[in-house]
Each structure stands twice: as C-alpha cells, then as structure tokens.
C-alpha cells in the first residue's frame, strides 16, 4: 500500500471511505458502524470534529455520577468519565462512608504557575545577569504589558520574572523563569504567548546591546513554553475522625485493626516504588475521571502529579495517613493546574453540563473537588485491599462486561448473576457457566 498524500485535505466522508477501503476490507458494515457514533445533532458534531484533526467519528466513554459527596460542608454530585469497572462505585462508597463522619475537607495551598524561555548564550554569565537586572528586565516587562491587561483585570498576570543560570547543567544554557496567576483559566495559551514575546524581545535586546561583542550578541532561543510541573499550584484534601468512628460492619474487622491496616498500606506506598505506582494510579482513576468530565487536560495533571510524587528523588504515594491521639487522618497533597473558563470547558456541551452540576465552581473550588475525589478513590481502593481484597468487588462489577462480551441473553444474565453471588468471578468460569446453560436449552 502506498502512502496517501493530502489526507488532511479530504472531507470527513472521504477520509472515512479511505480508511474503510484500505484498512477495513471495504466493509460496508464497518463504515456504518463508525458512522453510527456520529452525533445526531450536526452542529454538535461539528464542534466535536473541530477539537482535533483528521476526525472521522466519536469515541464514547461512560458518564457516571457520584452523589452525596460532602466537601467543605457542601453536598456535590460529582461527574466522572471513565470506562474502568468499579471506579465510580468505589468513589460513591467512600463518599457515603464519610458523609456521616464529617465529609471531606480541602484547602488551596497556592495557585502559581510557571513558564520558561530556554536559550543558549556564550559569554560570562555575570555579564548577562547584570544586563538583565539593570536594564533588560524592565524593558521585557514593558514589552509584554499589553498581553497582560485582560488577565490583570481578572486579578491575575505575570507575578515574577528572573534570569536563571543553568550552565552548571549544560554549557551556555539559561532560562527566563516566569511565574503567573491565571485565575479561573488554566492559562496555557496566555502563558505561552507571554513567554514567546519575552523570548523574542530578549534576543533583540541582547543583539542591540553595544556592551556585548559579536559572539555575545548571538542569543539563541531554544523554546518558550509553560511547565506542567506546578508545585506551587497545589491543594490539600483530607478526612479525619476518631478511630472508633470508623466502626462499620461491612469492614469485617474492628475499627482499630482497619485503621492500622490502612496506615500500613499507605506507608508501604510511601516507601516502595512498586506499590506506589499502582497506589497513585488508583488515585488518578478518580482524578482523571473528573478532569475528563470537566474538559480539563488529564495528561498534564498526571504528568505533574507523578513528577511531584518523585520530587525527593524516589517515587512515592501522593496520599498519607496517620493515627495520632486517637484520631485517624487520611489526606492528599497534590498540584492541580485547572481551569473553569476557556478551552473545552466552554465548548464541549458535557463539560459545560459537568461544571453546571458542580454549581459553576471557580478554578480553586474545582481543584478542591478534584483532590477530594482522588482521595475518595484511594480510600475506596485501600478499603477493599485491606478487607475483602480488590478482586471481589472489582470482578462483580466486571461480570457485566464479561456477560456483554459473551452476548448473554437477559435470562442468562439473571441466572449467572445469581450463580456468582457468592463466588469469585473469572472470565473462564462465566464462559463455562454460560456454555453449560446453553447446552441445557
């Protein structure tokens, strides 16, 4: 098969026809299957098509909700977009568990974001630093002032600008390091526009400076880009109660033993990287699901969270637990750079609906809800791990998927559900049970 030229210039239908004819055996069934996922509303479909490139259809994920989620004395109904079985159920179970125990609490630690202009410059670093501090910095701030106006009117803007000498790590390497406040916007486009303007202006200022020789006048801007690592844009969420208040018949053990096992489970994730990886993945089950539902960037959030988890040189748990003076305390400390205005938050109809469901939160409020959701998810996973085990609940939920894969009828579903009411679910056993039923018919 020869490479195709000009694919991006084809119409949506032409792209789809090409794919079906060349990669799906020209199957009319496959063509209609792909088209069946198009939105029935042409205008809504056009909005979805314009989010990305070379779009030919939509890929659906389940949109679920967690009611009774109490955070800072407010009751939320939290939307979650995820395909993994038992995630929403575990989060809802945690929300209900803590509903009668004071609910979740959260607070903002900071909202500062970072951007960098990376550049190379050959010369004595002290000379460049002196030039920056004595004249260039003020000129750079004046240059980007018009770009800051709208953000400043909302209470944000450029917080600081400094020159960093990074030549100890790489020859001739420097950074313009900028910090920003972007209010309710995630702010990526704003930050990147400011950084690019700073880079271009600084290159010009260096080139025009008569105190530099010809070599020193040659400043090479490598790139200007925000950083998704935002340790100063951070939130803490927690739950706590007297140990005896953890008492619950469903735990199958005393409150004291449950609290001890929970603390040990978290401690293991703090010291063992193998456990920490799976532990934090579970946290992001909850975080990503809410991030997707609100039209934010889950990839940026995950990259930042994982970097923060390894900030001391070893990858560790993002949640922590202690038992002190008879109190059980479980909390998360995590950077979250989110937005509730701009981007998909206003364009995607379900993202707008999600934010409406959450009472149109500010970015700070959304940060707290997301952190609490991640904490709830982690509590739910750990609760299962230290009591009945993760597979019992997970595979019960997964039974539905297995029955769908095996195309079970409604009557067969009812019989199989009853058969596995008190049994561990496995694909092999379910398949054999269905085969046995079908042999009897």
Query: What are the structural domain ranges in the chain?
Result: 7-49, 63-110+235-388, 113-227, 394-440
CATH architecture classification, 63-110+235-388: Alpha-Beta Complex (3.90)
pLDDT digits (tens), the chain, 441 positions: 789 999 999 999 999 999 999 999 888 899 999 999 999 999 999 999 999 999 999 999 999 999 999 999 999 999 999 999 889 999 999 999 999 999 999 999 999 999 999 999 999 999 999 999 999 999 999 999 999 999 999 999 999 999 999 999 999 999 999 999 999 999 999 999 999 999 999 999 999 999 999 999 999 999 999 999 999 999 999 999 999 999 999 899 999 999 999 999 999 999 999 999 999 999 999 999 999 999 999 999 999 999 999 999 999 999 999 999 999 999 999 999 999 998 888 889 999 999 999 999 999 999 999 999 999 999 999 999 999 876 665 566 678 778 888 888 888 888 888 878 777 787 888 888 888 877 766
pLDDT at res. 163: 98
pLDDT at res. 82: 97
pLDDT at res. 414: 81
113-227: CATH topology is Alpha-Beta Plaits (3.30.70)
CA–CA dist 331, 333 (Å, integer): 7
CA–CA dist 393, 292 (Å, integer): 24
pLDDT at res. 408: 84
pLDDT at res. 354: 97
pLDDT at res. 393: 59
Any idea how long the chain is? 441
pLDDT at res. 405: 84
């Amino acid at each position: 098969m020869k490479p195709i030229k000009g694919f991006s210039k084809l119409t949506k239908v032409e792209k789809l026809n090409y794919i079906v004819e060349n990669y799906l055996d020209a199957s009319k069934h496959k063509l209609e299957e792909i088209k069946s996922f198009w939105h029935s509303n042409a205008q809504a479909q056009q909005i979805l098509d314009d989010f990305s490139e070379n779009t030919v259809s939509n890929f659906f994920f389940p949109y679920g909700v967690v009611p009774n989620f109490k955070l800072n004395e407010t009751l939320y109904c939290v939307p979650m977009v995820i395909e993994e079985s038992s995630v929403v159920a575990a989060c809802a179970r945690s929300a209900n568990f803590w509903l009668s125990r004071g609910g979740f609490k959260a607070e903002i630690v900071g909202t500062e974001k970072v951007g960098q202009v990376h550049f190379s410059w050959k010369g004595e670093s002290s000379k460049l630093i002196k030039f920056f501090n004595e004249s260039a910095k003020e000129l750079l701030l004046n240059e980007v002032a018009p770009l800051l106006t709208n953000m400043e009117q909302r209470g944000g803007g450029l917080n600081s600008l400094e020159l960093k000498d990074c030549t100890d790590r790489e020859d001739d390497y420097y950074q313009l390091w900028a910090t920003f406040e972007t209010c309710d916007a995630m702010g990526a486009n704003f930050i990147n526009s400011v950084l690019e303007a700073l880079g271009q202006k600084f290159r010009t200022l260096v080139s025009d400076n008569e105190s530099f020789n010809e070599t020193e006048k040659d400043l090479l801007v490598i790139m200007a880009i925000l950083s998704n690592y935002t340790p100063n844009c951070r939130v803490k969420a927690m739950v706590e109660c007297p140990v005896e208040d953890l008492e619950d018949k469903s735990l199958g053990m005393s409150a004291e033993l449950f609290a001890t096992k929970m603390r040990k489970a978290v401690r293991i994730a703090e010291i063992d990287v193998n456990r920490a990886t799976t532990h934090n993945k579970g946290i992001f089950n909850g975080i990503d699901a809410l991030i997707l539902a609100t039209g934010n960037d889950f990839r940026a959030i995950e990259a930042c969270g994982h970097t923060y988890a390894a900030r001391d040189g070893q990858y560790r748990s993002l949640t922590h637990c202690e038992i002190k003076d008879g109190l059980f305390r479980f909390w998360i400390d995590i950077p979250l750079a989110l937005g509730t205005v701009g981007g998909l938050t206003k364009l995607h109809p379900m993202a707008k609906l999600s934010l409406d469901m959450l009472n149109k939160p500010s970015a700070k409020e959304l940060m707290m809800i997301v952190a609490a959701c991640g904490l709830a998810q982690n509590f739910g996973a750990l609760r299962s791990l230290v009591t009945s085990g993760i597979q019992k609940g997970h595979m019960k939920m997964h039974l539905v998927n297995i029955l769908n894969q095996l195309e079970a009828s409604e009557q067969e579903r009812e019989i199989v559900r009853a058969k596995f009411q008190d049994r561990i679910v496995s694909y092999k056993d379910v398949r054999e049970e269905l085969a046995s039923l079908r042999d009897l018919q």
